[in-house]
Amino acid sequence: MSDPSTGVSRAWVEVDEGALRRNLRRVRDAAGASALVPMLKANAYGLGMGPVLEMVRRETSSDELWAIGVAAVAEGEELRRLGWEGRVVVFSPAPPGEFDRAARAGLTLALSDLGAVQRWADAARGAGRLLAFHTEIDTGMGRAGFAAADAAEWGPRVARAAADLLEWEGCFTHFHSADEPAPEPTDEQQRLFLRALGELPPGPARRVVHSANSAAAVRRAGFGGDVVRPGIFLYGGSAGPGAVPEAVASLRARIALVREVEPGTTCGYGATYTARRRERWGTLAIGYGDGLPRGLSPAGGEALVRGRRVPMIGRISMDVTVVDLTDLPEAVEAGEVATLIGRDGGETIKVDEVASRVGTIAYEVLTGLGTRLPRVYLPPDGTRNP
């Protein structure tokens, strides 16, 4: 396979800008008139907040890009350090001690209870300026948000607590099953959300309303609201049936060692694998310390070498993984590249395949890729940006 990793000696993540931008384009086309709030939380799902921010900016106009979404105040502060001056919405509840920091950074908070509204009002008073917030409405996710059924009760109280210190800018909910085949749970959440909105007191201007994550934005026409919040779909993870994006991330590692072993030779902690014949093993310079799931090997995990699948053997260690190269038609040499996620020749290992083998989701695999893996950025023109 071609090797864009000149100067990268061990293992790395490749990020395909062209694919990410085409995925974003697909969301934009599906969203119609809805503006975009791309989610860059968790270091842009493990792919690098700064570079991904620039990719998003190159693909969207100022009218299309309404805000950037994150999960933590520290992530919003990082966006400011990166030079982003636009709106930043922090979607997860901020701990009480972070409200003043959020105010200094000019962030917009998602608020889920009256205590948080009061703390945000106190921060606005201290900052001497109006601060914006969105109310999360819980329609079944259960992890945060004002209860949808009680909107007529809490709505006026939120408005009074905000008074002249806060701008109640928007309301949103989060779907728990939009990536599942059955539409009924999402339909019910949307019904509860719209009913709650109808019970809220009118604001000085129309509030921004949003509910669509990646799955709803791509699969459910009409669920967009004023803005949509694409996440995993941008980064190459499936958002459910009919919402399969282009692959964005590839995970590759050098073959550090190739050796011949005799029948009966054992491999890995616990000696869980024993050679049944004379075999050729390759030691890859990557392990669970880099974010490769430790449970992948006993679950039938594979790598691609010279465009063919080879099985992982033994237990994955912190720093290395062993594969069986015996059935490859040509001898492999140390220094060649193995692909753990991505394409090599006519074969592809998708991030969703890796996630499925170990009983998790693409989100966890991507965000778990470790900091000692350099990110290698591949722009649409095919050049390399380390």
pTM for the model stands at 0.93
| DSSP character at residue 235 | G
pLDDT at 383: 53
> Architecture of 249-378 per CATH?
Beta Barrel (2.40)
First to last CA, the chain: 19
Domain ranges of the chain: 32-235, 249-378
Each of the 386 residues of the chain gets a pLDDT tens digit; together they read: 545 555 668 999 999 999 999 999 999 999 999 999 999 999 999 999 999 999 999 999 999 999 999 999 999 999 999 999 999 999 999 999 999 999 999 999 999 999 999 999 999 999 999 999 999 999 999 999 999 999 999 999 999 999 999 999 999 999 999 989 999 999 999 999 999 999 999 875 568 999 999 999 888 777 768 999 999 999 999 888 888 899 999 999 999 999 999 999 999 999 999 999 999 999 999 999 999 999 999 999 999 999 999 999 999 999 999 999 999 999 999 999 999 999 999 999 999 999 999 999 999 999 999 999 999 999 886 554 43
Residues 6 or more apart in contact with residue 25 via CB below 8 angstroms = 59
CATH class of 32-235: alpha beta
- The yes-or-no answer on residue 269 being catalytic is yes
User: Roughly what angle, to the nearest 10 degrees, separates helices 49-59 and 17-31?
Assistant: 50
Write the single-letter amino acid at 376.
V
Q: In sequence order, what E strands does the chain have?
A: 11-16, 35-36, 68-70, 88-90, 108-111, 131-138, 146-147, 166-172, 208-210, 227-228, 249-261, 266-267, 273-274, 279-284, 302-305, 308-313, 321-324, 337-344, 347-349, 375-378
Q: Pick the catalytic residue: 45, 269, 350, 363?
A: 269
- Binding-site annotation, residues for substrate: 143, 318
Binding residues: 143, 318
Q: Report whether 328 contacts 312 (CB < 8 A).
A: no
